Structure 1
């Protein structure tokens, strides 16, 4: 009798969590689509606004620095409004920011583009802060890892789709649009082509704004339950977190991870364009496909066949090997990708570009493995530890700029990938030792 009651309760809990999980899954798709659209946007803005590689990477800086700058204001908004209304506000901020791309494109103003990107990042900050607790708390704690992996797959699947949609809308009939081709055009002809591409650039963001405003109403009136975040308000909670090296070092590991994740996803188009790759606008999709494969492997093998620390160790080692492959392989050869998927009709890419995309597979499991390792044993400080880990997203703002500066100073974009090597090495340290530390002595 008790077994039947237990099974009935489990079934009811599963049904009650289905709608909230569906809504949150939709939001994670939006996260991925908006975030990984930047990888396609960077090479286009480089051409439209006549930027060098370092300047173009302020796209990632403006977007990801919003997570750091706006984290506290957005958390205060969330505390006042509650989670559901907070999500609606975040979507509205993103919708307005998407519309700012219209004057940015028409004026060809890079600062206005950056303002729009900062706004998108600010809206995503409140969405991330509000939606991530749902993934953990909307169902049984023992299945939280599975839910995180599923959301990761949804997020990165959107990252596969975004560059393809962007390229189809912007580059249809303009296959010869690249910096070399534009540089060869005369003044009036050059201005005409840039104006046409700028007008086409508006369309993806108009569609995005319309969808975001529709989602505002959907989320606002959806039956999402409010959840208790368990945050501590006392001063001990705010200061005591620094006693735990595993979470401090975990935040630094995530700082390094988000930096290399953004490099692999958002600079691959910039690098491909510098090599004359015809489909450079869709190269972010290659990285995202490898990341989806990585998440699927995580669902299949963790913890059944491999532990979280072992998966993190393997990720760091594989990332180091990918960096070496990107830097030292020949840009004149496409043999590796041709052998792997040439039969499918998918365009092969130069070997260094392949290794950049493969970084997505290498580090896909860093985020889902660092979180549980960093939060282990925090007890009442778990909420503060989670907030600190979220701050690690700032790595996506800082590390790509270092990538751009190295490439600009050295005269070769590919040299920028050296910055990923110390990032992977720190992740390796955390996997082998850092997550085990329980005191600074």
Structure 2
């Protein structure tokens, strides 16, 4: 009861910086996919390894991260996550200098491992900083700043990473001596500088949090003392929530990964890579606006009901985009961002409902579902390579159908 009278405005304000930072970093992957695809002459499936390496880390590291958080607490988990992510960003420098695609993928895996620890620690922490009734609304509000990061990311990525023109294999063969060295140096610098800046920013935030006074919550202390977690998998609404996170992250990442390529197509929008990256910011910007709106709407509409409505709206938009197959398809797909907005934090909050002292470890289990961002883009890539890019958007459509079901039925905790 004592925690309800405490003001958590300071800690929440500090945590929004984290949400912003990992939103920005994650959205840069959508810029890396087309850039590395051109640079290394990759197929859609090969290029999808960027997202696979990044999001597979969530599957591998989420459960261990939950254990770390349950033993060391939220604050230490957040600091460790920031430092590991900084190491991943720093490795982009040698990866770009050596022009090594495998090293790029390793760097992304390490970076994502750090962000996994951040997710596992920060999401339940925000969820617990206040009453259970406002948990979904509160998490949506802080996630809005995550969306601000994903909105800024494509703009900055387009300016720095996509500004350097990528030459084809035949064009590179024509370059010799200083011209070839200058080309490779420019390509390396376009990736190195943004990620070196991110390295410095992550270390700075870690230092700020180290010397900040974040409250230790009662359920956090109990989580650290309690070592039993076998009953987690008996909570059906949590298990369904893991699948919901898998479906949502997979669909969101898949759409973001192939949106630039879609908008470059002559039969859709015929945009340049840089112009398409600016449009991508509308996709993520819609999520930011939607989360601010959603945090208000959830004070009047049940969170699960709003989740189901939004998922069904996305199903309609994707179906129309595939059926119409022209410039309208661009706007339909971009509009998905607005309805995506409340999905991740709402699924997360609903899945953690009534778990008490198991919340920290349950967060680790939930974050395992983020591996959807690694697998769903590959499935969509396979469909794109064998059918067409626009037709492949039926893959995220199926994901949103499941989310609609979760909002209607799967979210209910068993009594």
Q: Which TM-score band applies after superposition, normalised by the shorter structure?
A: 0.7 to 0.9
> Paired residue for 1:270, among 238, 261, 276?
261
User: Are 1:200 and 2:190 matched, yes or no?
Assistant: yes
User: 1:147 offset after TM fit, Å?
Assistant: 2.1
TM-score by length of 2: 0.88
Kept in 1: contact 2:253–2:377 (CA 8 A): yes
Higher RCO (C-alpha 8 Å, min separation 6): 2
Structure of greater Rg = 1
Shift, 1:162, TM fit: 0.9
1:76 deviates by 4.0
Partner of 2:161: 170
Partner of 1:323: 318
Shift of 1:194: 5.5
2:304 to 306, 309, 314: 309
Look up the match of 1:407: 384
1:188 to 161, 171, 174: 174
Q: Is the 8 A contact 1:48 1:108 kept in 2?
A: no
1:146 aligns with 2:123: no
Considering only aligned residues, what root-mean-square deviation do their CA atoms show, in Å?
Answer: 2.7
Map residues 23-422 of structure 1 onto 2, 5 A cutoff: 23-172=14-163, 174=164, 177=165, 182=168, 185=171, 187-189=173-175, 193=183, 195-227=185-217, 228-229=219-220, 230-231=222-223, 237-275=228-266, 276-278=270-272, 279-304=275-300, 306-331=301-326, 333=327, 351-378=328-355, 381-410=358-387, 412-422=388-398
Task: Tell me the SS of whatever aligns to 1:283.
Answer: helix
Q: Normalized against structure 1, the TM-score is what? A: 0.83
Count of residues in Structure 1 that have an aligned counterpart in Structure 2: 403
Runs (5+) with no aligned partner, structure 1: 1-5, 334-350
- For residues 374 and 124 of structure 2, the distance between their equivalents in structure 1, rounded to whole angstroms, comes to 24
Partner residue in 1 for 2:6:
13
Q: Is the 8 A contact 1:49 1:109 kept in 2?
A: no
Q: Which residue does 1:339 correspond to in 2?
A: none
How far is the alpha carbon of 1:185 from its aligned partner? Answer: 3.2
How many angstroms apart in 1 are the aligned matches of 2:288 and 2:403? 20
Sort the Cα spacing of 1:82 and 1:407 in 2 relative to 1 into closer, same or farther, 3 A.
Answer: same
Indicate the SS of the match to 1:413.
Answer: coil
Does the 8 Å CA contact 2:148/2:285 hold for their aligned counterparts? yes
Report how far residue 198 of structure 1 moved: 2.9
8 Å CA contact 2:154–2:281 kept in 1: the answer is yes
SS at match of 1:277: coil
Tell me if structure 2 keeps the 8 A contact 1:31–1:124.
Answer: yes
- Structure 1 residues 104 and 231 mapped into 2: Cα distance closer, same or farther (>3 Å)? same
Cα deviation per residue 1:27-52 (whole Å; 9 max; x = unaligned)? 11111111111111111010111111
- TM-superposed deviation, 1:385: 3.8
Distance 1:50 1:144, change over 3 A: same
TM-superposed CA distance for 1:204, in Å, is: 0.6
Contact 2:70 2:223 in 1 (8 A): no
CA deviation vs aligned residue, 1:282-329 (integer Å, no higher than 9, x gap): 33311111112221221232241x322321221121111121123222
User: What is the alpha-carbon distance in structure 2 between the residues aligned to residue 129 and residue 378 of structure 1?
Assistant: 15
1:426 to 386, 391, 402: 402
